[in-house]
Homo-oligomer: A and B are copies of this chain.
Amino acid sequence: MELTTNEKLTVESEKDLIALCKELSQKFATRAAEYDRKATWPVKDYEDIKSAGLLGIMIPKDKGGMGASFLTYTKVQEQLSQGGASTGLTFNMHNITAGILAESKTEGIGGTRGKAMNDFRNWAFSEIIDGRKMFASANSEPGIGAHFSALKTTYQKVDGGFIINGYKLFVSMIGYADYYVVAARREQPSGDLPEISFFIVELDNPGVEIEEIWDTMGMRATVSNNMKIKDCFVPDNRLFLGTEGLGIFKLTREPHWVIGGYIGTYLGLCQATFDYMVGHLQKKKIPGSDQSVITRDWVQHDVGKLSCELAATRALVYRAAAMVDEDRGSPQTNAAIHQSKYMVSEFAPKLASHAIRLCGGSGIAKSLPLERYYRDARCGGLMPATSDECLLYAGKSALGFDLTKIEETYW
């Protein structure tokens, strides 16, 4: 099954889309062990994604994309990530850019700025739809993580463009992606807050160098190496949305992309773990007997508890995603995004740990996927906002703090 990118995403076609993603995911699953072992980009998975027209999933229909809702997107990620968690995670990086652009309303903004915004959007959409190009992001920095208000990478305005200098960590897909959205702060900020802007950088830029240090326990196929940026010139038309200073405001008001983009991926990882566990237990015998272990009631009890937690996690993730569609950027929605990010990120390693315990010795064999799920699962809580940042955010929200104030958040 292949979707053309112009169909309307009715409930019917959301089902088709999910079914398509499930098919792709089953292919990803056959490749995941090797990509994990070698820590290389899941190139064949990306090719499948491109062939299926999924690069434009978030792009508005009138721009040639699928115009998916955030809930649909979350379900798509859930499917794709069951087979390839690193694939889903990096595909999300692409969609953070596409999604933010899709949500940026440019109507009614006239003049030069309006034109610059429109030109940028159209260029980006065209590159994605027609050029099958993928976008990555370069935000994290040493000692800062993804806390934008403390960014050390700087830019200055020069004739015809900007000069960027800095050092970025954890740039997922680096080496494979076509464009890199680089966050930087103005060298001489005009107001109180650092003026964060974003720029599109390409790898053939002489000011850009990949530092290959990626060697991690989990999510290995994201290949998140470092990027060194030295006197890197970027022309005016590669300023993100044609506008300086959009950064912090957007992130504090509408954090669903940079934070909530992950929730589908880790939900998918949870589901893959749970399904593997159930299948394994169904085949496992009570030692020294022909009776299935699933007839033991303590096994049913334990699996039951995990199923309850998975169901609650999914309900929360879907609810949070639906709230993005219904009431984007509201305090309730933002709290829900942080809550769901925390819950799914911490349930994933807990579930994987318990699944190995239930499956027994073979659960740690590299010939089976469970040990990879265990390694991948621990990564979610480290991605921004980290699990503990999410808790602090959720707690402040419940306690009545005003989280539109940047000093109350973790940015």
Contacts and interface: CB of A to CB of B under 8 A. Distances in A.
Interface of A: 140, 143-145, 147, 149-150, 169-170, 215-219, 274, 278, 281-282, 285, 287-289, 294, 296-309, 311-313, 315-316, 318-319, 335-336, 339-340, 342-343, 346, 349-350, 353, 356-358, 360-361, 363-367, 371, 374-375, 378-379, 381-382, 386-388, 390-401, 410
B392 A304 contact: yes
B364 A308 contact: no
Contacts of A339: 307-308, 311-312
Contact of A364 (B217, B305, B340, B358): B217
Contacts of A313: 312
A393 B301 CA distance: 8
A12 to B, nearest CB: 16
B288 A144 contact: yes
27 contacts: A140-B361, A145-B287, A145-B360, A145-B361, A147-B287, A149-B288, A170-B361, A274-B398, A282-B400, A298-B301, A299-B395, A301-B302, A303-B399, A304-B342, A305-B394, A307-B394, A308-B339, A308-B342, A308-B343, A311-B316, A312-B343, A316-B316, A357-B388, A363-B382, A364-B379, A364-B382, A371-B375
A276 to B, nearest CB: 13
Contacts of A396: 300, 304
A315 B319 contact: yes
A301 B301 contact: yes
Contacts of A309: 343
A312 to B, nearest CB: 4
Nearest to A319: B315
A281 B315 contact: no
A30 to B, nearest CB: 18
Contacts of A303: 394-395, 398-399
Contacts of A371: 216-218, 375
Most chain B CB neighbours (cut-off 10 Å) among A281, A311, A313, A350? A311
B395 A300 contact: yes
B365 A288 contact: no
B391 A308 contact: yes
A16 B397 CA distance: 26
Contacts of A304: 342, 390-398
A93 to B, nearest CB: 15
A305 B216 contact: no
Contact of A296 (B170, B297, B361, B367): B297
Contact of A315 (B315, B357, B366): B315
Contacts of A392: 297-298, 300-301, 304
Most chain B CB neighbours (cut-off 10 Å) among A281, A378, A400? A378
A37 to B, nearest CB: 10
A312 B310 CA distance: 10
Contact of A399 (B282, B305, B381): B282
A22 B346 CA distance: 34
